Amino acid sequence: MSVLIKENIITLNTKNTTYQMAVNPNNYLAHLYYGALLDDSLAIERGNVGYHTLLPLPYDCRNREFSSAVCPLEYSAYGCGDFRTTPLKVRFSDGSSVCDLIFESANYVDSKPKLEGLPALHDNEGKSQSVEICLKDKVHDLRVYLLYTAFEEYDIIARSVRIENHTGGDLILESVLSTCLDNYEDEYDLITFDGKPYAERTFHRTPLGDVKLTCESKRGSSSHQCNPFFIFATKNCDEKVGECYGSAFVYSGNYTASMEKTPIGTTRFVMGINPENFNFLLKDGESFQAPEVIHSYSNNGFSKLTHNYHDVIRKHLFRGKYADAERPILINNWEATYFKFTAEKLLDIAKKAKAIGVDTFVLDDGWFLGRNSDNSSLGDWFVDEEKLGCPLNQLIKEINALGMKFGLWFEPECISENSNLYRAHPNWVLQAPDRKGALGRKQWVIDMSNPDAVDGIFGMMSDILDNNNIEYIKWDFNRYLTDVYSHALPADSQGEVHHRYVLGVYDLLERILKKYPNVLIEGCASGGGRFDCGMLYYSPQYWTSDNTDPMERLSIQYGTSFCYPIIAMGSHVTESPNHVTKRDTPFKTRSNVAMAGTYGFELDLTKLSSEEIEFLANETNVYKKYSQLIRTGDYYRLTSNSARYMGWQFVSNDKLNSLAVIVQRTSNIDFKPIIQKFEGLNPSVMYRVVIDGKERENLYSGNALMNIGLNIRSLKYENESTRIEILSAKAQ
Ligand code: GLA
């Protein structure tokens, strides 16, 4: 049993972790423990924390012994002495915001319930167990249902919150965060994956000081600027040792996450929908479902934490045909042609792509009515046959005849001022009355909180998908939300637009997937601006960044790998000098870096020499040989982001095959040898080692490879890379 309710203690156990809470003498749901697996002992000792505190200003003199300001709690509301960030704030119909949540009930839940309208970990095979706990305000019948699910095998605890209003009046939800994780230590570092366009998800480690650290997005999407995945870790934590806690938000809109200390040395981490610009009217009898947070704990460093997330996302977040299937190798025409192409040019590229073993041709932006620059036509999802020089389905037929699939770019949530859609439906745009919205990237955002707009977009996309053999969609979103106002909602509901927008996007994605279950959706948002667990529920791969320079991708892919599986990262071989940075990088390095992802191409193959085509054909074969290992294997970061060279390694589940790549970042002028130790192998298995296609004469034991390492003699210069295959000698 991974969930146990015994007297006043509720315990969730996974293979290596325990999460425990208790109803304390004041009837609050206290947090007792989250850490390494406990035997039968209970963390009840800790139930005293928050009592008998020596704090000079107790909250309530009638109850001197208890302080809700410091007691580790599972969830709490604004107004009754918990001065940390309280996850819940409501405004009752009498105008008061005072709410005091006490324990009401705890019940086992058989199978993990779906969260209405929201993405979440799924479990159709009974691999998880859940408990639902009800807290209730002391005065009003406001109920807070906390759902906890333990995925035993992966050391994962998923949490979400549902609010039910039975107060007899309407109320306003001003904040409903999804998790509150109090802890009994305060010597932590907070690890964030922040950045910007072209530098998404960069690893940063900040010691938790005496002031609160807050990270957030107010951009309407989870953003390039700070990914909704956080780790807090003990000071000694590195890839292999130390304790760390991860929290991934399964949501793609505005969010907040913060961490703070209390005077008695406990900490609070919270995460949820950003309360700024959020006011949700909850009528009597209605409920509100907040999104899920996926927690994990490791006392074996970051590497184990990463494996927990990669496994659970691959098995319980990805869905549909491509959840557990080979992903196609793509050629995308964007960096090859931008807006300037004809069907003939595309076909020429497709033919070369076929010669190097590519499976799918993707036609990017510019295929629809009048779209020759980013100045017009978004929203008019009708084929521009004049530009193509033929109907789209004729081009698709010719590409299919080459033995390749066809994919198409859409940006369903955006609209150009110069578009028939805008002329027909000006009210479908997010913009406040009497104001023209900001034209970020020369476009506006469609009001996805308006079901009519969602229906309209769905209709146009369906027409294209019904009449053309499209097996892949690149779902782009090149804006942040500004001018957030919905013409479909009354004045006093405008605080709901941000969240309803996200629900509308999820609804459209769900409808497309339901109607076209064979279509693979790859998400994109000006690169990796909405790369989060919410989107991965619909699109099991995401364009990692518009920065396609492999040397810059090293740090982006490094940061992304902490939470997100490698097979979720869209990554392509592009032209050199790179279009973004003008840096020159050898083909080999471009290919090695793209292999730590979905692999594909984004350059004009017709311009390559026959040697280059042959080289890439060989590279594609190598990727195909290792694609299952890359997709399903365990991933190890061999170096940190600040190292002068960077390495990573995939190990098959049976530990018999492994593939590693090392990239030299700076020229090695002092010719220091790279003696690289490897991870995750079987110490007693003998392995063959093949470096860049050349087999070493000796066999090496897993023990030697992990403890002594290999002297990588081949790397001297900046931007060079090497590929190391480690293969069980027996399997030869
Ligand atoms: C965004 C994407 C690119 C490309 C362009 C097309 O920038 O990230 O990959 O699709 O849009 O306009």
Report pLDDT for 422: 98
Q: Is 534 in the pocket of ligand 1 (CB under 6 A)?
A: no
Mean pLDDT of 218-224: 98
Report pLDDT for 138: 96
Q: How far apart are CA 416 and CA 434, in angstroms?
A: 18
- DSSP secondary structure of 365-420: S--BTT-SSTTS-TT--SB-HHHHTS-HHHHHHHHHHTT-EEEEEE-TTEE-SSSH
- Preceding omega of 433 cis (within 30 degrees of 0): no
Report pLDDT for 59: 65
Residue pair 243/233 in contact (Cβ under 8 Å)? The answer is: yes
Q: Is 334 in the pocket of ligand 1 (CB under 6 A)?
A: yes
330-632 and 645-731 have identical folds: no
Any idea what DSSP says for residue 89? E
Q: Is 548 in the pocket of ligand 1 (CB under 6 A)?
A: no
More confident residue, 69 or 105: 105
What residues does each domain of the chain span? 3-316, 330-632, 645-731
Report the CATH fold assignment for 645-731: Immunoglobulin-like (2.60.40)
* pLDDT more than 90, % of the chain: 91
Q: Is 546 in the pocket of ligand 1 (CB under 6 A)?
A: yes
Decide if pLDDT at 54 tops 70: no
Q: Which atom of ligand 1 is nearest to the CA of 527?
A: 8
Q: pLDDT band for 642, please (50, 70, 90 cuts).
A: confident
- Counting ligand 1 atoms within 8 A of each CB, the residue from 333, 334, 363, 579 with the most, and so the one to mutate, is 334
- Count of beta carbons in the 10 Å neighbourhood of residue 667: 14
Alpha helices in 532-652 (DSSP H): 533-536, 550-561, 587-594, 610-632
Q: Which of 155, 150, 149 is nearest to 16 (CA)?
A: 155
Q: How far apart are CA 306 and CA 245, in angstroms?
A: 11
Cα separation values, 457 from 211, 420, 508, 528, Å = 46, 13, 8, 23
Nearest C-alpha to atom 12 of ligand 1 is from which residue? 365
In this structure, the strands spanning 360-363 and 657-664 are unpaired
Report pLDDT for 111: 86
420-452 pLDDT, tens digit each = 999 999 999 999 999 999 999 999 999 999 999
Report pLDDT for 41: 77
| CATH architecture for segment(s) 3-316 | Distorted Sandwich (2.70)
Q: Which of 76, 74, 96 is nearest to 84 (CA)?
A: 76
Decide if pLDDT at 669 tops 70: yes
Q: Is 82 in the pocket of ligand 1 (CB under 6 A)?
A: no
Report pLDDT for 166: 98
Residue pair 303/637 in contact (Cβ under 8 Å)? The answer is: yes
Mean pLDDT of 511-535: 98
Decide if pLDDT at 61 tops 70: no
Q: Following CA atoms 365, 368, 374, 378 in sequence, which dihedral angle do they give, to the nearest 10 degrees? A: -110
Any idea what DSSP says for residue 647? E
- Count of beta carbons in the 10 Å neighbourhood of residue 281: 17
Q: Which atom of ligand 1 is nearest to the CA of 474?
A: 10
Q: Is 292 in the pocket of ligand 1 (CB under 6 A)?
A: no
498-516 pLDDT, tens digit each = 999 999 999 999 999 999 9
Report pLDDT for 670: 73
Report pLDDT for 732: 59
228-282 pLDDT, tens digit each = 999 999 999 999 999 999 999 999 999 999 999 998 889 999 999 999 999 999 9
Active site (catalytic) residues: 532, 612
Q: Is 457 in the pocket of ligand 1 (CB under 6 A)?
A: no
* pLDDT more than 70, % of the chain: 98
Q: Burial code of 94-128, b = ≥16 C-beta within 10 A, e = fewer?
A: eeeeebbbebbebeeeeebbebeebbbbbbeeebb
Report the CATH fold assignment for 330-632: TIM Barrel (3.20.20)
Cα separation values, 379 from 157, 363, 521, 543, Å = 40, 17, 19, 22
Decide if pLDDT at 122 tops 90: yes
In angstroms, what is the span from residue 387 Cα to ligand 1's centroid? 19
Q: How far apart are CA 93 and CA 91, in angstroms?
A: 7
For helices 587-594 and 610-632, the axis angle rounded to 10 degrees is 20
Q: How far apart are CA 547 and CA 561, in angstroms?
A: 16
Q: How far apart are CA 451 and CA 457, in angstroms?
A: 10
Mean pLDDT of 12-34: 95
602-621 pLDDT, tens digit each = 999 999 999 999 999 999 99
In angstroms, what is the span from residue 527 Cα to ligand 1's centroid? 7
In angstroms, what is the span from residue 463 Cα to ligand 1's centroid? 23
Would you state the structure tokens that stand for residue 471, as one six-digit string?
């097996």
Q: pLDDT band for 58, please (50, 70, 90 cuts).
A: low
- Counting ligand 1 atoms within 8 A of each CB, the residue from 364, 371, 531, 548 with the most, and so the one to mutate, is 364
Tell me the whole-structure pTM to 2 decimals.
0.98
